[in-house]
Every structure is written in structure tokens, then in C-alpha cells.
A and B are shown apart, each in its own frame.
Chain A
Amino acid sequence: MPALSTSGLARTFMTKNGPVEAVRGIDLTVERGEILGFLGPNGAGKTTTLRMLTTLLAPTGGSATVAGRDLIRDPAGVRLATGYVAQSGGVDPHLSVHEELVTQGRLYRLTKHRARERAEELADALGLTGLLARRTATLSGGQRRRLDLAMGLTHRPQVLFLDEPTTGLDPGSRADLWELVRTLRDTEGTTVLLTTHYLDEADALADRLVIVDRGVVAAEGTPDALKRTHAGSPGASLQDAFLAVTGRTPAPRDTAPLAV
């Protein structure tokens, strides 16, 4: 059974200016242990799709199975089996790294003792050990992102969703994060679905790519297959393939308001 599959997954937002069809019908299959790159221009519906798959947002159409659990009928089961690192992270800047990690463990219903142990383990694995007493506001961009990742890994999820995990990071921190994601897949067999604006990242990290545009899947395949099919040759750049599929370039949205 695949780690994740969706069929016609859709979400329409009702706004003051009328309905917004953010996601119009996404069909996806992700195998266990696969790293799937989820690409698309700004506003394509990537974040909305992730928020549906993590039970934050109710779909207005379609269905999905995540880690063997039905998204609509068993949201509690989906929550236990999935981890989510949002575009803007999710830690309180006034609290310490340790406090946030322990609280997260408790929210996943670990005992107090186990939550503390888990905080230490995660800090160890993600290079945060020396930072446990620090307020999260004082962390560097790369450290913050590693903390966000640690929070999402608290309960050893089978499927991990990462929304633009490296946006705004320096190249060194990005490489660190790639390494962490690969290690996770290799040691825990975690399935990873990540969105990114960096096509070099998608090329280097993802086993397979899905390009969404205007709320539907516009193309999918391995990086090489996409280059061959949409840009003419495996030697072409992913950028060319992306442009051919969507008519746009994937500009990072660094100036966007924080996701709410």
C-alpha cells in the first residue's frame, strides 16, 4: 500500500470576493520511503494541499488515504501518523527550545518523563543540544528550521510534510537540512512530501517531482524524466521544464505574509 494517495482532492475557499478554488482536484500517490518534491508557482495550491493532508483544513471534494488511514473518517489516526512543518514554523519566540520540544511531546501524549527524553534525543539528532536553554527567538534561521523539524518528528511520523523547509536559508543550512531529510528516510523509512521553490533542491533531494499549477497536477515524474519530456533532454535544466509546464518561474515568496 502506498504511504499516501489522494483522489480528486479539492478545496474551495469562500471569501468576500466569491469562491476561490485553491485546489481543484489533486491525484497523488506517494510510495513508502519516497521523497516527493511538490513544486508549483506561488498560489498553485501547495500549502492548501498540505493543510488538508494534515487535517488542518477540511477538503471540499475528493478523498485521501494517509499512512493507511482515511483522511475524512479517521483524522485522529492521520494526526498520529503524520508530521507537519509549516511554511512559517510553529514555535513561540518567547519560549525556550527545551520547553517547546517537551510541550510538543506532551501534546503527542508522551508521559512527562518520556517527553523530556524525547526532547534530548531530538536535540541530539538535529544538532540542537547546546541550544536547549535558548529562547527560540534567538536562534539563527538554520537552527530555527532544525527546531521546526524536530517538533514535527516528535512522534516518529510515518509520513512527514515539509512546507518550504529551506526558504530563506543560507546554502550551508540548506545542505544540512537535505542531509537530515535523507538520513530520516534511510534510517526510519519516513515518507517525505516537501514543497520548495528551489529547483536545485528538488533536483538533488527528491526521488520524484509533482508540479502543480492552478490547483491541479500539471506534470509528474523523476527530475530526469521531467527534463526529458518537457524541456527536450535530460541535460536541460529543471527550470526549463518548470517554465514549459507552468509558463512561470518558481519565485520564492520571501515577502509573503506569514501563513495563517
Chain B
Amino acid sequence: MSPLLTDTALVFGRYARQTLRSRLQMLFGVLMPLLYLVFFGPLLTRLPLAAPGSSWQVLVPGLLLQLALFGASFCGFGIIVEKQYGVVERMRVTPVSRLALLLGRVLRDALLFVFQAVLLVLAALVMGLRAPLGGILAGFAFVAVLAAALASLSYALAMRVRLPQEFGPVINAVTMPSMLLSGLMLPMALAPGWLDALSHVMPLRYLVDAVRAAFTGDYGSPAVLRGALVAAGFTALAMALGARAFRRAAA
């Protein structure tokens, strides 16, 4: 195996073990989307949502991406704490691949949020969601990619700040508008023209449209292709920024 792969596996193993040890933290991220599912979902069942499929096929894709959005954006907190312990510099003086320091962590994050997404979909099935398996799997794939991209950006920012207090406000200022402006809760087809137009600057908008189309089995829809392309581009950019942060010195 190449050093990059072994190093990534090593870093992944370290952080995956830490995650497995804190069961509560593993489940915590599902709580908010679950509340939306149970207390907000039923309000939509008889509303016209200007979208094909049942209201669950509209809501659950949004909740899946919401889970990744709010979960992965905060991943950087962990590395701020590790920087304070000196763990990051201790690793950066070893020959370990700098890219692996990022990839190992991001891989753990992607798997964690896909695990949470599975739990959420199971709950949604109980609530009344019916969707093709292929669409649901596509949804998980988008969760994985979005989580990886956002975690990578989160680490890139966290490597630059010294204190958690400098980090939290920035993340909050980004995540809330992202959620509102990308139509995660309700389709932007319901929005007035200006809001719909504005939402097109949010990469997340294309991802949620893609997952909603996949959930109705419309795999050939241009929305799916657009979503995949935007996700790929966004992830490439996020990974590049994350990798640079681990190559350069931390603040």
C-alpha cells in the first residue's frame, strides 16, 4: 500500500476509535433532524408543495443534508482542542502524509454522518416515507460528499484560529443562512422570484434538488446531474483548502 493510504487508514482508525467510544456523541447529530421529522413533517402532509412525490419525499432529503450541514460544519472544534493539546504539531513533525491527516479525519466524519442519515431514514420510513432504494442510496452518497466537503472546510478554518470562541460564531453565521437559502425545509419552487434566484448562489441548493429528484426515482433528471457536478466541484475546492491548511503551519 502507498504511504498515503496506510497513513490515511492510520489516522482514520485513531479518530474512528475515539468516535466509537462516545456513543452519545454519535447519536447527538440525529436529534435535530429527528425533531423536524416528527414535529414538522406531519404539518406538510396535506400541503401543496409544488414538487413531485409525497411531502416526505420532499422533506427527508432536506433533513438528510441538514444533518450533514450542521454536523460537519462543526468538525473543526475537535481540531482546535487537539491543537491546544499539541497533538496536531506532534503529528506534523512525523513523516506522516499531510493529506492523510486531513483525509483520515474527513473519512471518519463522512461515515459518521452517513450512519446518522441511515437512522434518520429508518425513522422516516416509520413516519410514512416511501421512496425507491436507489434514491435513498443516492441520498446517502450526497450526505457523504457534503459532509466530507464541509468537514474539510471546517478543519481549514479551525487550523487558522486559536480559540473555539473565534470559531463558533463564524460557523453559525454560515450554516443558518445556508439552510434557509437552499430550500432545505421547503422547496424553493414555493419562493417568490427574488428568493429563488438568490438561492441559486448556494451550492447546497443544487444538492437538495438532486436528492429530491432521486427520492422520486427521477434519476435521469438534469437536477441530479447538476447536483452531482456542483457537489464534485465544491468538494474538490474544500479538499484543496483543507489539504493546504494541514501542509502549512497552524496559527
Binding site for B on A (CB under 8 A): 51, 54-58, 76, 79-80, 82-84, 86, 88-95, 103-104, 106-109, 151, 155, 258-260
Instruction: With a 10 A CB-CB cut-off, give which of B14, B250, B251 has the most chain A CB atoms.
Output: B14
Query: Contact: B10 with A88, CB < 8 Å?
Result: no
- Chain A CB within 10 Å, residue with most, of B3, B87, B89, B162: B89
Given contacts A103-B10, A103-B14, A88 and B95 within 8 Å (CB-CB): no
**B249 to A, closest residue via Cβ:** A57
Spot the interface stretch: B49-57, B77-85, B147-155, B227-235. Answer: B77-85
Decide if B192 is an interface residue (CB 8 Å cutoff): no
Q: How large is the interface on B (under 10, 10 to 19, 20 to 34, 35 or more residues)?
A: 20 to 34
B96 neighbours in A (Cβ, 8 Å): 107
Q: Which residues of A contact B48 (CB under 8 A)?
A: none
| Residues of chain A lying within 8 A (CB to CB) of residue B130 | none
Q: Using CB atoms, name the residue of chain A closest to B17.
A: A99
Residues of A with C-beta under 8 A to B18? 94-95
What are 19 inter-chain pairs, A to B, with CB distance below 8 A?
A56-B93, A56-B249, A58-B248, A79-B95, A83-B93, A84-B90, A86-B86, A86-B90, A88-B84, A88-B85, A89-B86, A90-B89, A92-B82, A94-B18, A103-B14, A107-B7, A109-B6, A259-B86, A260-B83
Provide the B1-44 mask, 1 if CB < 8 A to any CB of A, else 0. 00100110010001000100000000000000000000000000
Q: Cα distance A94–B14 when bound, in Å?
A: 12
Question: Top 4 A-B pairs ranked by shortest CB distance?
Answer: A90-B90, A90-B86, A107-B94, A88-B86
* Minimum distance in angstroms from A198 CB to a CB of chain B: 21
Contact call A107/B86, Cβ cutoff below 8 A: no
- By a CB distance below 8 angstroms, the chain A residues around B251 are 260
How far in angstroms is the closest Cβ of chain B from A143?
Answer: 16
Q: Is the pair B95, A80 in contact by a Cβ cutoff of 8 Å?
A: yes
Pair B87/A91 contact, Cβ less than 8 Å: yes
Report which of A55, A91, A109, A260 forms a contact with B93, defined as CB distance below 8 A: A55
Rounded to whole Å, the gap between the CB of A82 and the closest CB of chain B is: 7
**In-complex Cβ contact of A92 among B3, B87, B248 (8 A):** B87
